[in-house]
Amino acid sequence: MIGATSSAEASRRDGVTSPGTPLLDIRNLTVAYAQAAPSVQDVTLRVEPGEILGLIGESGSGKSTVAMAALGLLPRDARVTADRFDVCGVDLLSTSSRQLTMLRGSSIAMVFQDAMGALDPCMRVGAQIAEVVKRHQRLKGAACRREVLDLMSRVGLPDPETRARQYPHQLSGGLRQRAAIALALAGKPKILLADEPTTALDVTVQAGILRLFRRIRDELGVGIVLISHDMGVIAQTADRVAVMLDGKVIEQGTVENVLLSPETPYARKLLESAPTLDTAKTRTGADTSDAGVRNSPPDRADLITVAGATRCFRSKGRRVTAVDEVSLTVKQGEVLGVVGESGSGKSTLAKLLVHLDTPDEGALAMEGIEYAKLGSRARRFREAVQMVFQHPAGSLNPRLKVGTSIREPMRSVRAMNRGEAGDRVRELLREVGLPESSEHRLPHEFSGGQKQRIAIARALSCSPRVVILDEPTSALDVSVQAQVLDLLDRVRRQHDLTYVFISHNLAVVRAVSDRVAVMYAGRVVEVGDGETIFANPRHWYTRALLAAVPSTDPRNRDDPTDEAAGVDGRARTPAPVSVDAAACAFATRCPQAQRRCWTEVPSLTVVHGGQQVACHFPHLESTTEPFEDSTTAGGDRTGRVSW
């Protein structure tokens, strides 16, 4: 069938030789956009029915390009060459655009990263799925409706009848992603491409979606290409893995082989630099000199106190309480980690902390001086409190030279003269590991990690005492993330800084924090010493979070039998007909919710040592056995409570 050499080469790279026609058979694919150098070069991939191929690699390595090429959806200026490019036996290189259109949806389909974007916001979810069902299954009327509802329940959308009539914005992120998967499956494709399908989601939701992929594969026998930069996701889901670097596949093999004993140095580095929940110890071990400081925070003085801060927004007539009666203290010299899912109010809290925003109720104070009464001390405050943002690209004015950006705070807050400021800029650049000449360049000439270094230099320029870091590494690749985290840690020790480190990545928070606060729906549900919280979470939400973090070890896959009940976004406990305003926000997802949870907001109470929990029925016995994810696995749905 194929030339002997390429066939031999392919089977060698694949590591596995599987029977039957492959769903996706790519040999030496090269894609170049316009005049640029090829973005994808000599890629050879193969997906068999019922197989999940994981595709990992850092940003820009060409993962999405491969996927889009398989769909024939590359922009017109892209040039594609390949020795072989078959999708379900059809040669993409020679099909007409008509055939290609037919192929899409019925043979090959795709799930994109941003589910909100992938669904038409102006169309009901059911109608969107029905459209594809009609097109590819040629069903009409009631049959079509039945098929849509069937699809929706198959991907785990609860109450499909209602959901079908809703618009995408009325669904939660997890449900939206499920709807998007239903949409992709509606044409009964044989192969499904999933491009970072869970990156935008909360870990608890992610676990459910990943389980769904496996179930689809088992039930429908489709082949899946799962693109992700998250080792855990791949480890938990994929059968085989291909690692991409600069447009080339540098390593390919079974998941165990690649993740446990990577051959190439790059893959090894990629795996090493990804922090896991267990990495905290290794990192602390690295800075033995400060170990004592890190582990004994209680005697430190309070630097910033947040007392009952509440912040509401009105947008489009809706009222969102982004931060809800939060009380916290940030102690001198510590790293306070703040975790929580997207939309839980972390960034809003950060803005309150740096006084970019003022709370509607409650107050913040620094060393006893309320923010509202800073008056003439405002300038000192600005000097003392700085912030680093998530998007390195966004935090630098694209039109200003790097030096100017770094110099800005010194000029405005410190009123330094040009010469002094110039010297300091160069000093700072050296400190964050950038050449002095960077001063004269524009931000777009730097990579993401370099930009983040510049942003850090800028934050340091006024010798602050506190730096609020709002997801400073979540836009970065794992390898770069490790470097930036190292830099942050070094700087902190050098200047005796206090950090508030915000992230939704539990592993990262664990790796850097002394104390951790967990936020849910605008409230702090649990605070305490990092070690304690990670070892012995008391709040059911914290427990769910920790349990859902995918392990990077493919041998630790969770039990696939759990997945039958893997439905999220749904109350475990019967909810009263009218939910009281005073309900615990987590009650709808809590396995332990009881009547009291629906009528009374739990407040933070000290359970043990420095650990505080806002829960009426916290998990009390300290346990080492693996915790069962309530949200996604939820085995005991009746909410049996033993005390």
Partner 1 sequence: MPQSVTREPSLVSRPRVPRVPVPPAWVRFVLRRVLRGVLVLFALSLLAFGLVHMLPGSPVDTLAGPYSDAATRARLTTDLGLDKPLPVQYVTWLSNTLRGDLGTSVFNGLPVREMIGERLPNTLELAVFATIISVAWGVPAGALSAMRRGRAVDVTARTVTFVGLAIPVFAFGVALVLLFSILFPAWPTLGFVPFSEDAVRNLQSMLLPSIALGLPLGSTLCRFMRSSMLEVYEQDFIRTALATGSTQLQATMRHGLRNAAAPVATVAGLQMAGIVGNSILIENVFAIPGIGQLTVTAITHLDIAVAQACILVLGATYVVLNLAVDLLLPLIDPQIGKDR
Partner 2 sequence: MTAVAPGRAGTASRGWWSPVLSVFRSRREAAVGVVLLVTLVVLSMTVSLWTNYSPSEVAGAPFSAPSGAHPLGTDDLGRDYLVRLLTAGQTSLGIAFFAAGIALLVGSAIGIAAGLRGGWLDSVLMAVIDLVLSFPSLLLALSAVTVFSPTKTTLVLVLALIAVPQFARVVRSRCMELREREFVLSARVSGVPDPIIAVKHLVPNVLPLMTVQFANTAAIAILVESSLSYLGLGVQPPDPSWGNMIYASQNYMTDSPWLPLGPAGVLLLASVAWGLIGEGFNSGRRSLI
Ligand X SMILES: Nc1ncnc2c1ncn2[C@@H]1O[C@H](COP(=O)(O)OP(=O)(O)OP(=O)(O)O)[C@@H](O)[C@H]1O
Q: Is 130 in the site for partner 1 (CB under 8 A)?
A: no
CA–CA distance, 422 with 406 (Å, rounded to integer): 9
Residue 89, classed as helix, strand or coil, is: coil
- Residues 111, 192 contacting (CB under 8 angstroms): yes
From residue 568 to residue 607, what is the string marking binding to partner 1 with x (rule CB under 8 A)? -xxx-xxxxxxxxx-x-x--x------x--x---------
Q: Is 400 in the site for partner 2 (CB under 8 A)?
A: yes
- Residues 11, 36 contacting (CB under 8 angstroms): no
Phi, psi torsion values for 140, nearest 5 degrees: -135, 160
Sign of CA dihedral 87, 88, 93, 95: negative
For partner 1, the binding residues in 184-203 under the rule CB under 8 A are: 184, 186-187
Sign of CA dihedral 102, 103, 106, 109: negative
| Nearest CA-CA partner of 330 in 355, 356, 301 | 301
CA–CA distance, 585 with 338 (Å, rounded to integer): 18
Residue 448 touches which of partner 2, ligand X, Mg ion, none (CB < 5 to 8 A by kind)? partner 2
Q: Is 386 in the site for partner 2 (CB under 8 A)?
A: yes
Least distance from C-beta 71 to partner 1, angstroms?
5
Q: Which of 53, 74, 130, 180 binds partner 1 (CB under 8 A)?
A: 180
H-type alpha helices, 221-323: 231-237, 255-260, 265-273, 279-286, 291-295
Q: Is 30 in the site for ligand X (CB under 6 A)?
A: no
Q: Is 361 in the site for partner 1 (CB under 8 A)?
A: no
Sign of CA dihedral 581, 598, 519, 116: negative
CA–CA distance, 249 with 474 (Å, rounded to integer): 25
Q: Is 347 in the site for Mg ion (CB under 5 A)?
A: yes
- Which positions ≥6 away from 157 have C-beta within 8 Å? 163, 175, 178, 179, 182
Nearest to Mg ion of 64, 611 (CB atom): 64
Phi, psi torsion values for 401, nearest 5 degrees: -65, 145
From the list 192-200, 226-234, 446-454, 506-514, the region that binds partner 2 by CB under 8 A is 446-454
Q: Which of 39, 64, 452, 573 binds Mg ion (CB under 5 A)?
A: 64
CA–CA distance, 444 with 447 (Å, rounded to integer): 8
Q: Which of 71, 78, 442, 571 binds partner 2 (CB under 8 A)?
A: 442
Q: Is 109 in the site for partner 2 (CB under 8 A)?
A: no
| Nearest CA-CA partner of 529 in 350, 322, 295 | 295
Q: Is 165 in the site for partner 1 (CB under 8 A)?
A: no
Q: Is 308 in the site for partner 1 (CB under 8 A)?
A: no
Residue 613, classed as helix, strand or coil, is: strand
Pairing between β-strand 52-57 and β-strand 240-245 as defined by DSSP bridges: parallel
Residue whose structure tokens are 């026998």 = 221
Q: Which of 206, 252, 344, 450 binds ligand X (CB under 6 A)?
A: 344
From residue 503 to residue 532, what is the string marking binding to ligand X with x (rule CB under 6 A)? -x----------------------------
Q: Show the CA angle centred on residue 529, arms to residues 487 and 384, nearest 5°.
A: 50
Least distance from C-beta 466 to ligand X, angstroms?
18
For partner 2, the binding residues in 311-350 under the rule CB under 8 A are: none
CA–CA distance, 462 with 439 (Å, rounded to integer): 17
For partner 2, the binding residues in 30-69 under the rule CB under 8 A are: 60
Q: Is 225 in the site for partner 1 (CB under 8 A)?
A: no
Max intra-chain CA distance, the chain: 81
Q: Is 448 in the site for partner 2 (CB under 8 A)?
A: yes
CA–CA distance, 536 with 495 (Å, rounded to integer): 32
Q: Which of 342, 463, 494, 622 binds ligand X (CB under 6 A)?
A: 342
- Which positions ≥6 away from 18 have C-beta within 8 Å? 48, 51
Q: Which of 11, 21, 59, 170 binds ligand X (CB under 6 A)?
A: 59
How far is Cα of residue 514 from the mean position of the Cα atoms in its chain?
Answer: 22
Residue 110 touches which of partner 2, Mg ion, partner 1, none (CB < 5 to 8 A by kind)? partner 1
Q: Is 162 in the site for partner 1 (CB under 8 A)?
A: yes
Least distance from C-beta 11 to ligand X, angstroms?
26
Residue 449 touches which of Mg ion, ligand X, partner 2, none (CB < 5 to 8 A by kind)? partner 2
Q: Is 483 in the site for partner 2 (CB under 8 A)?
A: yes
Residue 569, classed as helix, strand or coil, is: coil
For partner 1, the binding residues in 507-566 under the rule CB under 8 A are: 521
User: Binders of partner 1: how many residues, by CB under 8 A?
Assistant: 57
Site residues, ligand X (CB under 6 A): 33, 36, 39, 57, 59-65, 75, 229, 313, 315, 320, 322, 340, 342-348, 504
Site residues, partner 1 (CB under 8 A): 71, 73, 101-106, 109-110, 112, 114, 117-123, 131-132, 135-136, 158-159, 162, 167, 169, 172, 180, 183-184, 186-187, 316-319, 321, 521, 569-571, 573-581, 583, 585, 588, 595, 598
Site residues, Mg ion (CB under 5 A): 64, 347
